[in-house]
Amino acid sequence: MVNISGLQKVRLKYKPELPLILRSSFSSIKPVIGKPTGSAGDENKLKNIFKNIFGKPVVTFTKGKNTKINKKPIIAGVVLSGGQAAGGHNVICGIFDALKKANKKNKLLGFLGGPSGIIYGKLKELTKDIIDKYRNTGGFDMIGSGRTKIETEEQFQKTKETILKNKIDALIIIGGDDSNTNAALLAEYFAKEKINTQVIGIPKTIDGDLKNEEIETSFGFDTAVKIYAELAGNICRDVLSAKKYWHFIRLMGRSASHITLEVALQTHPNIALIGEEVLEKKLTVSDVVDFICDAIVKRANAGKNYGVVLVPEGLIEFIPEFKELIKNLNEVMAKNEEELNKIDGAKEKKEFIYTKLAENLVNLMKSLPDDISSQLILDRDPHGNVVVSQIETEKLLIEMIKTKLKEMKKHGIYKGKISAISHFFGYEGRCGFPSNFDTNYTYALGFNAVLLILNGFTSYMSAIKDLIKSPSKWTAGGIPLTMMMNIERRKGEDKPVIKKALVDLNGKPFKVFSSMRDKLKVEDDYISPGPIQYFGPSEIVDKITETLKYERSKK
């Protein structure tokens, strides 16, 4: 465990604020059942895959006598799945406290190292002594995490053995869209096998792409963007002080640009590239480079040879030509996996792959710097896809921009000079002390998950809503996991997955940013929001993200 000192000592004493509805005795909270639900897409295919759990209703908790709530002792299991996000420990703390509130004999088992802990039966009982050391802290080190997917028949069988051996009544999976898709598959498997183990998901991802009308935000996003905004804001002040560098900052967010948009709203950089807009406008790499160069030239003409550019890590996947390349690479490498494994060296692998791609894609790949094209084929994630986060997009842009500016200089269009510095803000945002918002939100999500279990629900995601209000006014309930799903191509096959929420170009957060973009290009309107505040006036310590404020405000 990390040594306890300074802020952590004080944060251990913080008491998360629960929604009023969750503070009542469980026998005085009743579930209100809504109408049967559909899915985010591909409904007929999903009905066929999830024969036992598809179409369940949305659930909302309200005050009222509840005589059906389970009062018998239960054993619950919890697993952290996927990348870290601030507040994961507080989800577990909320689960533990709710279990003990319901019945002192209830037990909580933590699976170690992520889903692989379920498969191989690696677990430990989480006692009060353990729980109390991790309250309101960052990281996932209480039980660890992992990215193993439970998808083969053997893995499902081993999971079944672990569940039955340890007499687990309920399994709570804390994860993102892929992890919660796995939760749905496990719930379906348990139902098919007539195993009376409930499955509840918790929405986690700093990327902010696990949300919809019922899930207003995923936990960890609030903390991560505040950490990134502090760092980006510091660079904005440095830029304004030194006045001689262009800083290119790549931010986490492979599949969506929510982090980049939120940091832009908080810090006002000169340029923030939004991947969804690039895709919508079908921009090429050259178009993106031209857009940045236009700003650089305008600022140079005003005597400003400095600036800040925000780049989402998944940018190249939004550029149509790259999107097509990556899609085809994923297909080719999935179909030729055995043969590729026999080939040594990146150069030889590329030559083999060139024989499987269309000519225009081969030309695009050959036009890239060698290290970038090698990353496209050598680094793969657990799902067999390109590891976009490892591709240094900001460095690729810098090299192409320098080349473009050199040409512009020859023609007298550009008379400035550029010194570019690159950054990647990623892991810095995943394990920080959770903000007050994430501290309260995660605790409520865990507490609410237990209420869903006690009322007999399975294949649901814990949902806490009305998040723009104070925590006491938040509402609680659950939504069916299948309600958020559609079908996507993975490893060359159709797979059920929870649909990612991309930046809505017609949504208020993007419109607000778009309205100030021309001004930011040429003017120095930087904001340095500073570090996360945990103590002080509510408008500072309990401040929500600009994204949540704009998306959920009725004004």
Active site residues: 207
Distance CA 472, CA 458 (A): 26
In sequence order, what are the beta bridge partners of 146?
Answer: 81
Distance CA 382, CA 265 (A): 33
Dihedrals phi, psi of 149, to nearest 5 degrees: -105, 135
Q: Residue 350 carries which side chain, given as an amino acid letter?
A: K
Distance CA 99, CA 169 (A): 12
Q: Cα 8 from chain centroid?
A: 25
Kindly report the three-state secondary structure assignment for every residue of 423-466. Answer: EEECHHHCCCCCCHHHHHHHHHHHHHHHHHHHCCCCCEEEEEEC
Q: What is the DSSP letter of 486?
A: E
Distance CA 332, CA 377 (A): 10
> For residues 302-337, b (16+ Cβ closer than 10 Å) or e, as one string?
eebbbbbbbbbbbbbbbbebbbebbebbbbbbbebe
DSSP string for residues in 297-343: HHHHHTT---EEEEEETTHHHHSHHHHHHHHHHHHHHHHTHHHHHT-
Distances (CA, A) of 102 to 24, 45, 453, 465: 11, 39, 11, 23
Q: Cα 520 from chain centroid?
A: 28
Distances (CA, A) of 26 to 29, 68, 169, 278: 5, 10, 18, 49
